[in-house]
């Protein structure tokens, strides 16, 4: 903790009064980042959001946050970080589309690696105490042999996106070891919920609901038996709040400072289609297409380490999908 930040704490009436923490949420106009920013605000933190709105939306920005429209690769980020003096950075800004990363690995690396380095250099120069980094449990393990997959499983990313996310965790290790920044990585499974856009693998939830509402058949690639671990955004938010406070021993390594965020339950695409039809009470039929190259056959995460730290997924898939459907149907009605 810097001297300036120590001086922000005063003894009042025999108790320590703590000034609200200043938190930067990159990607805070996006699906998950906006929910995380709201949660920090709700508990009394001061929040700044940096987002270039390439995929985020202004309407997602929570009231009370200070918004700066800027890509995370912009050198101007350092000026903001110096002017504010953040205690904590929560890094959600990213290129998240696996297929786009395959088509343009340079674009993916420019955002996910160079953007992260720009942020970490700003954190180093301005005394940021902790960085919470969003990694990916769905891609860094590749096609794992062990299911559910623990954090210690061998890493074998099969896409540039997976490579860039894993590289980010190694960079965190460097900045922790050499510059003393506390770091923690959250390896998300497939997150779904209100504000979700139909992008990425977890976007299948939004895609299915949109197609059902429009009377269109559901498109399934392959035989539909490929599985994913779907976790509700509200549960992911609680994992972020916990990760913002966790303490680690000095010798904790990369996997010790990483937590899978999922449910530990596999759901096939066919089963997901069944539940979305039941929740929406709409059935339009299904079309099966050829399997997509490079798609994982299965993905499910072991979340026992995060449970041991005091977190657990509270939202059953049917309940989360019901809440998501209400939000998407409201959006469709006003579009």
Q: HEC states along 160-176? A: HHHHHHHHHHHHHHHHH
Helix (H) or strand (E) holding 31: helix 31-42
- Choose among 142, 271, 288: nearest CA to 205: 271
Separation between Cα atoms, residue 142 and residue 128, nearest integer Å:
32
Give the DSSP letter string of 63-116: TT-EEEE--TT-THHHHHHHHH--SEEEE------HHHHHH-HHHHHIIIIIHH
Euclidean distance between the first and the last CA atom of the chain, given in angstroms as a whole number: 48
Task: Quickly count: other Cβ atoms within 10 Å of residue 268's Cβ.
Answer: 16
Contact 135, 186 (CB under 8 A): yes
Beta bridge partners of 259: 186
- How far is it, in rounded angstroms, from Cα 275 to Cα 209? 11
Task: Please give the backbone phi and psi of residue 311, each rounded to the nearest 5 degrees, phi first.
Answer: -110, 155
- Residue 121: both structure tokens together: 């250099």
Q: Among residues 141, 161, 175, 230, which one is catalytic?
A: 161
Q: Is 161 a catalytic residue?
A: yes
Among the residues of 221-335, which ranges form H helices?
233-243, 269-280, 304-308, 317-334
Q: What span, in angstroms and rounded, lies between the C-alpha atoms of 252 and 182?
A: 11
Catalytic positions, please?
161
């Amino acid at each position: 903790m810097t001297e300036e930040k120590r001086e922000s704490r005063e003894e009042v009436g025999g108790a320590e009064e703590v000034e609200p923490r200043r938190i930067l949420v990159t990607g805070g106009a996006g699906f998950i980042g906006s929910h995380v920013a709201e949660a920090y605000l709700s508990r009394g933190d001061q929040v700044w959001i940096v987002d270039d709105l390439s995929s985020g939306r202004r309407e997602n920005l929570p009231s009370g946050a200070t918004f700066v429209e800027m890509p995370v690769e912009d050198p101007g980020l350092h000026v903001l970080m110096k002017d504010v003096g953040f205690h904590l950075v929560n890094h959600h800004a990213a290129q998240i589309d696996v297929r786009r990363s395959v088509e343009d690995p340079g674009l993916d690396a420019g955002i996910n690696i160079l953007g992260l380095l720009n942020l970490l250099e700003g954190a180093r120069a301005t005394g940021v105490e902790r960085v919470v980094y969003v990694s990916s449990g769905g891609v860094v393990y590749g096609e794992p042999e062990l299911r559910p997959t623990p954090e210690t499983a061998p890493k074998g990313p099969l896409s540039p996106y997976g490579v860039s996310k894993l590289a980010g965790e190694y960079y965190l290790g460097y900045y922790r070891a050499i510059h003393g920044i506390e770091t923690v990585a959250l390896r998300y499974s497939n997150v779904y919920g209100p504000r979700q856009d139909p992008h990425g693998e977890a976007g299948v939830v939004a895609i299915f609901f949109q197609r059902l509402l429009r009377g269109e058949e559901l498109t399934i690639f392959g035989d539909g038996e490929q599985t994913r671990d779907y976790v509700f955004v509200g549960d992911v938010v609680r994992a972020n709040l916990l990760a913002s406070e966790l303490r680690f021993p000095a010798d904790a390594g990369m996997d010790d400072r990483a937590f899978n965020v999922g449910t530990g339950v596999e759901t096939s695409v066919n089963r997901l289609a069944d539940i979305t039809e039941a929740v929406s009470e709409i059935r339009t039929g299904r079309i099966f297409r050829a399997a997509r190259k490079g798609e994982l056959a299965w993905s499910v995460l072991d979340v026992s380490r995060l449970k041991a730290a005091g977190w657990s997924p509270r939202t059953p898939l049917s309940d989360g999908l019901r809440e998501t459907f209400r939000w998407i149907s409201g959006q469709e009605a006003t579009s």
